Structure 1
C-alpha cells in the first residue's frame, strides 16, 4: 500500500497547463492530504493508537488484547464528570466509529481535490487545442539550459507559433466548438469545480469540528490567545471508555476500561491545520476565479493584454521589431480584429496560461510572431553586439541573504519540526514517577494520558494548588504544538519569496531565465534576451519590497520568541549565555520546564479516582535547545538582512553606484547586480560591455522609432 501511494505521489505533479492556484488545489492540497493519510495509517496500524487502564488482575497479554479489541470495536465518549450510561444502546450511540476511517476520509478528500483536474484533462482534448504540448514547448524558450543557441531557440518558437495557428484554424473549422470559447468556458467550469470543492470541504470540516463556534479555527485561536481551554466537542476526545466481553468457563464477563487515544491528539492537529489550509486556498481560489471571469468576459481586457505585449516587444526590442514602425498598435480596432482572426477567446486564455507558466518573454515572442504573420513586413538584420562568456550555470534569481531567509532557515525549521514530531509521536516524550503498586501497563497509560491531557508546572519548593481551577491555569498546552509552530514559522519565511516569484512576471521579465540564459545561450541569443529584458522593466521596487518583508518577518518572529522565552531578560539568548559563563543556573521561566505534575482521573468499579503523578519531560529540554538556537539564528539573520537591505537601498538609490550607460535606469542596475551575484562578475562585465557597445545603435533606433 505504502509503495503504491508513494508511486502515486511521484506521479502527482503539475503539467503546467494551468495557473498556480490550480496547482495549489490539485497538486499541493492532494499531496498534503495523502501524506497526512499515510501518517495516520502508520500511527493506527503500525504504532499504538491507544492505551487502556485495565484492572490490576489483568496480565500483560490480557492488556494487549483489550487494547486491540477496543480499537477495532470502537470506544465511546463520556465526560469524566458524567455518569456512565447504563443502557447498551446509549453507549453504542456514543461510539466513535469514524477515527478508524480518518485515513480513508483524507484519501477521499484528496481525490475530490483532484476531480476538477480530471475533468480538465478529459474534455480539453475535444477542443482541438493541445495545451499539454503548447505550454511545455513554450517553457523551452525561457530555459537557457535547454536552448544552446539562438538558432535552436528560433527552431522552438517557430513551430510553437505554427502549432498555435494550426490549432486555432482547426478550432475555427470545428462546428461543435462555437465562438472559439470552448477552452475558456471549460477552464472557468473547472475553476468553479475547485471553488465548490474547497467551500464544501471547509464547511463540512467546520461543522464537524466545532458546532460551538461559528468559525472553528478562529474560535480555537481566540481561546489560545486568551489562555482558555478548548471547548471539548467530543470529536477528537483524548480519553474514552470501552466495553469488553470475554467468555471464560462458559460465562460471559463484562469489563469497562478507560482508554487514552494518542492518535486523536495527532488527528486533531492535522485537522486544525487543514481548517486553516482550506480557509486560505478557499480565499485565493475564489479571488482567482473572479479574476479569470473579469479578464475573459470583458473584451477590453483582451485588447489590453495583446497591446501590452506588442508595445513592450517594440519598446524593449527595437532592433528585432523594426517592422512595426508603421503599425499603430494602439489602434484598438486593429488589435480587436487581430484577436478575432488569429487568437479568439481561447487563444487569449492559452496565452494567459503560457504567461503564468513560462513568463512574459515567451508570450511576447508568440504574439509578436503572430502579429508579424498577420502583418508581414520585410525582416531587418540584427547587428552583432559583441561577445559573451559561457562560464557558469546559475540556479538562483536573488542574493545569498535572500537564500539564507527562505532556503537555509526553512531547512533548519522543518528539520527541527520533524525531529520534535518524531520524539513526540514515535518516541517517549515524558516519563512519570508512579506509585509502587502501579503495574507496568498502568505506568504506560499514565504517560500517554499526561501527554495528551497536558501537565502543569509548579516549582519544587512551592505547594501544589489545592483547587482544580488553579492547577488548570498552570497547565502547559503549547509543547504539543511545537512541530506545527516551527512549520508555521517556515511558511512565514516563504512569503517574501512567493511575493517575488508571483509578481516578478508582471515586471515583464523572468530574472531566473535571464540569468540562466546569459550563462548558457549563444552570443546572439544572449544579445536578444538582454535587449528584450533589461531595459525599462521595474523590478527594483519589487525586490526592495521583498527584502523589507524578509526583515519585517524576522523582527516579528524574533520579538515574539524573545518575549515568550525570556520575560526576565531583555535579550533572552544573551541572558542565558551570561548565566552559563558565570556558572549560574538557568532561571527557569516555566516555558519549557523539565519536571511537571499531572492529575489523572480514572474510573474504577464505578468510582472516579484522582491521582497526581510527577513527570519529567525530556522533550522540553530538547525544545529549549532548539529555540535557543533559533533565537541566535534569527538575531544573526536579522543583522545580515538589515545590512543587506541598507546596501541595496543605497546602491539602487544613488546614481554614482550605477553604470554610466544605465544610470537613468535603476532596474537595469538591479538586474546586473543579480547577474553578478549569481553568474559571476566576469559574466556581468561582458554583459555591460556588450550593452555599452550597443548604446550607439540604440540611440539611432530611438530617433527613428516613435510610438
Structure 2
C-alpha cells in the first residue's frame, strides 16, 4: 500500500523547469495527488473487505443480500430525520418503510466514488497537459544550462549571446504563446467551479453547502440538529429485498445495512470541500492579477523589478516599453529558471540593443 502512494509522487512530480505559476501547480500536482490518493483509499476499502454489511434473515443468503443492496441502492426515511435517535427511532433516518416514495432519500452514489475521484484527477490535469503541449519545451531549450552559474566563461558568453539574439530577433512574437497560458489558468479556475457543481449533482444538491452546514452544526441545539455528514454519508441505512415465495407470492424483506465505507467518504469530501474553496479563491485572485498584468505595463515593470532585484530600473523601463505582454511573460519565466547574474546580463544587453544609450555595468 505504501509503495502505491510513493508512486503517486513520481506520477505528479513537478519539473525543475518552471513554466507556470505556483498556484497553477497546485491544480495539477498537489490536487491530483490528493484525488488519486483518496481514490486508492476508497478503492482499497471498497474491494478489499465488505463495504456494506446488512442484517439478514436465514431466508436470504448473506452474500446475496449484501451484493443486492450494494448494487441497487439503500435509503433513509426523510420524515424520520427530525426524530430523536434512541427515543423515537433506532438510528438516524431509520423508520418504518414509507408508503410514499417521495419520503425516501435514496443513496446510489457510494459504488461510484472511487471512479468519480479518479475522473476528477484527470480533469485537474487537463489544463497542465494543454499548456505543456503549447509551451513545447521553449523555456528549457532557451535555458541552455544557464541555470548553472559555474560554467566556462567562453561557453557562458556564447550561450548568453545566443539567447539575447533570439529575444531580440523574436521580439513582439510571443503574445499568442502567453495568452495560451492565461487561458489555461482560466480553464483551471473553471474546472474547480465546474467540479463543485458536478459534486453537487453527484450528491443530489448537497455538496455546495456541505462545508457551511458542517461549520454551522456546532451552533445548533444538540438534541435537534441534523448532522450533514450523517445525512449525506449515512453509516446505517435500509434496504428492501423482494423475492418470490413458495407459490411465487411476493415476499418483502427490510434489512438494516451498515456502510463503513461512508466513514471514509465523509472525511474525503469535507476535506475536498474546503480544499476546493481555498483553490478557487487563490485561482480567482490569480486571474485578477493576470488582468492587471495584461492592461498595465507599469505593473509589468514593477513585477520585474520586485522579482529580479539585480536588474537596473532603466533597463526594466526600456524592456517594458519596447516589448509586448508575451515578451514580458517570457522574460519573467526565464528569470525564474536562469541564474540571476546571467539573467541580469542578458536583460541589460537586450535593453542596450533595444536602444537604451546606457552601457549597463554592475548595479
Q: Return the TM-score normalized by structure 2.
A: 0.76
After superposition, the C-alpha distances for 1:450-470 in whole angstroms (9 at most, x for unaligned) are: xxxxxxxxxxxxxxxxxxxxx
Larger displacement relative to structure 2 (277-286 or 200-209): 200-209
Alignment of 1:367-516 (within 5 A): 367-371=347-351
* Aligned-partner Cα distance in 2 for 1:106–1:216: 17
Query: Is the CA contact (8 Å cut-off) linking 2:144 and 2:159 kept in structure 1?
Result: no
Q: Decide whether aligned partners of structure 1 residues 76 and 308 sit closer, same or farther in structure 2, where only a CA change above 3 A counts.
A: closer
Task: Name whichever structure is richer in helix by fraction.
Answer: 1
Match of 1:196 in 2: 190
1:105-153 Cα distance to aligned partner (Å, 9 max, x none) = 111211221121222123334xxx8134346945x33xxxxx6x3527x
1:238 and 2:235 aligned: yes
For 2:338 and 2:344, the matched residues in 1 are separated by 11
Larger Rg belongs to? 1
How far apart, in 2, do the equivalents of 1:110 and 1:287 lie?
23
Equivalent residue for 2:288?
290
**Matched residue, 1:108:** 119
Say yes or no: does 1:119 pair with 2:130.
Answer: yes
Counterpart for residue 257 of structure 2: 259
Aligned to 2:42: 40
Cα distance change on mapping 1:106 and 1:311 into 2, 3 Å: closer
2:276 matched residue in structure 1: 278
Contact 1:236 1:264 in 2 (8 A): yes
What is the rounded CA distance, in whole Å, between the counterparts of 2:20 and 2:292 in structure 1? 17
Q: 2:327 aligns with which of 325, 347, 371?
A: 347
Question: Is the Cα–Cα contact under 8 Å of residues 137 and 160 in structure 1 kept in the other structure?
Answer: no
CA contact (8 A) 2:189 2:280 kept: yes
Number of aligned pairs?
341
* 1:71 CA drift (Å): 1.3
Q: Distance in 2 between matches of 1:268 and 1:354?
A: 44
Mapped to 1, the partners of 2:341 and 2:203 lie a distance apart of 47
Partner of 1:72: 71
Change (3 A) 1:65 1:294: same
Given that 2:308 and 2:340 are in contact with CA atoms closer than 8 Å, whether structure 1 keeps it comes out as no
Cα distance change on mapping 1:379 and 1:96 into 2, 3 Å: closer
Preserved contact between residue 77 and residue 240 of structure 1 (Cα < 8 Å): yes
Residue in structure 2 matched with residue 151 of structure 1 by the alignment = 152
Match for residue 12 of structure 1? 12
Equivalent position of 2:314 in the other structure: 329
The whole-number CA distance in structure 1 between the counterparts of 2:257 and 2:213 is 28
Q: Distance in 1 between matches of 2:25 and 2:316?
A: 36
Among candidates 94, 97, 101, match of residue 108 of structure 2: 97
Equivalent position SS for 2:124: helix
Measure the CA separation in 2 of the matches of 1:310 and 1:92.
64
| Closer/same/farther in 2, CA of residues 70 and 208 from structure 1, 3 Å limit | closer
Q: Please say if residues 206 and 275 of structure 1, whose CA atoms lie closer than 8 Å, have aligned partners that are also in contact.
A: no
Q: Which runs of 5+ in 2 are unaligned?
A: 81-92
Question: Structure 1 length normalisation: TM-score?
Answer: 0.42
CA distance in 1, matches of 2:273, 2:56: 36
8 A Cα contact 1:307 1:329, kept in partner: no
2:54 is aligned to 52
Report if the CA contact (8 A) 1:37-1:106 is conserved.
yes
Give me the whole-angstrom Cα distance separating, in 1, the residues matched to 2:274 and 2:258: 27
Question: Gaps (5+ residues) in structure 1?
Answer: 142-146, 315-327, 381-704
Alignment partner of 1:329: what SS?
helix
Change (3 A) 1:216 1:249: closer
Deviations 1:301-335 (A, max 9, x none): 23334556887346xxxxxxxxxxxxx82794x44
Q: Distance in 2 between matches of 1:217 and 1:200?
A: 17
Aligned to 1:486: none
Structure 1 distance, partners of 2:281, 2:128, is 19
Give the match for residue 684 of structure 1.
none
Pair 1:309–1:204, CA change in 2 (3 A): closer
- Distance of 1:14 and 1:65 partners within structure 2: 47
Shift of 1:156: 5.7
Q: Report SS of the residue matched to 1:262.
A: coil
Asked whether 1:220 is paired with 2:214, we answer: yes
* Secondary structure at 2:288 match in 1: helix
- Post-superposition CA distance 1:181-217 (Å, at most 9, x none): 1122112111111111112223444576695797431
Candidates 118, 134, 138, aligned match of 1:130: 138
| Distance in structure 1 (CA, Å) of the matches to 2:206 and 2:44 | 31
Match among 78, 84, 101 for residue 97 of structure 2: 84
Structure 2 CA distance, aligned partners of 1:377 and 1:330?
9
- Name the structure, 1 or 2, with higher relative contact order (CA <8 Å, separation 6+): 2
